[in-house]
Amino acid sequence: MKLAVPRPSTIAFAVAVLAVALSPAVLDMPQQSLLTRALIFGLMAASLDIAYGHGGLASLGHSALAGVGGYSVGIMMVKHEIDSFFLGILVAVVVSALVSLIFGLLALRAKGIYFILATFTLGQMLSNLALQWKALKSPGVEAIVGIGWPSFGFIDNWVDYWDSTTILRAVLVVVVIAFLCIRRILGSPFGQSLRGVRDNAERMEALGYHAWAYRLASIVISGAFAGLAGALFAYHSGIITPSNIGIAASGVLVLMVILGGSGSIYGPLIGGMVVTAAQFYAGEWSEARAPLVIGAIYIVTALALRGGVAGAVATQHRRWRQARGSA
């Protein structure tokens, strides 16, 4: 009986998770906070790639869907004093999925560039709603502030204090579980059919698949995971603002996916973490020049990494296997 050998990518993912879990031994508190933020945005980019990379639906309103999750937990905690993590995450995921369903029903009436414009418009509508609706603001500010770290119920009995190290590891656990769920979904017959719709919708329709329904499902699933990431962002940052869900934030998410490798399994997670770190250190170097750094990443990615980091790694691995086989 042969034992199943894990794929190199799976081994690399497991090693990376272990490295992040042990990283507090060598990282100070600000660096741990940055790594936590990078994990959250990695999950957010991975959620976008469900519809973008695997469904072929480029969206410029995805940060708004993540913002729905953030505002949901913010309202629950600040305005209604409901601090349960599990209830907050459940509400964030469900509400984001419902808003994504509305997004999909409206945006899928258009195709191509018009679909992108539709998602851009819907995202800006949510951003303006957050800017103008008093129910989505704390008194005196254009945001919801005062969001604390939530209660984990019985788990709190095992934790003396939720410091940056404990929060990092808690977020890591949630991100890993969510990522394994995403990988399972994309590896299922649904994921294979979704990629078939992306590549040739007419042929899939001829085979009896409802292409529109698969696209709508990808938007809803993508939005649900975005809501989870948005809730984690709000809990970690302590604040959620309209700028977090605007067009600029959505554009950065697209960059994360492209840099990591759209349509890949691990690429968007890598891209999200790299771009988040680049934004932080560019801002530390020069706040005024930080957009130039992000713009340079866009250009380099477009010219030199068209398949993203994951595509470059896959290409090198394929060449190595071919060279090994010929030898």
Write down the domain spans for the chain. 31-243
CA angle 70, 297, 59 (to 5 degrees): 45
pLDDT of 8 above 70: no
pLDDT of 135 above 50: yes
Report how far apart the first and last C-alpha atoms of the chain are (Å, whole number).
29
Q: Residue 197: what pLDDT?
A: 93
pLDDT in tens, 203-262: 999 988 999 999 999 999 999 999 999 999 999 999 998 888 888 888 888 888 988 888
How far apart CA 69 and CA 97 sit, in angstroms, is 9
User: What are the residues whose beta carbons fall under 8 Å from the beta carbon of 106, sequence distance 6 or more?
Assistant: 118, 122
State the average pLDDT for the chain.
86
SS3 content of the chain, % helix, strand, coil (to 5): 75, 0, 20
pLDDT in tens, 273-305: 888 888 888 887 777 777 787 778 778 777 777
Res. 265 pLDDT band, cuts 50 70 90? confident
- pTM here? 0.90
Q: How far is CA 43 from CA 47, 93, 102, 167, 249, in A?
A: 6, 14, 22, 16, 14
Q: Residue 1: what pLDDT?
A: 44
Structure tokens at 322: 């071919």
pLDDT of 308 above 80: no
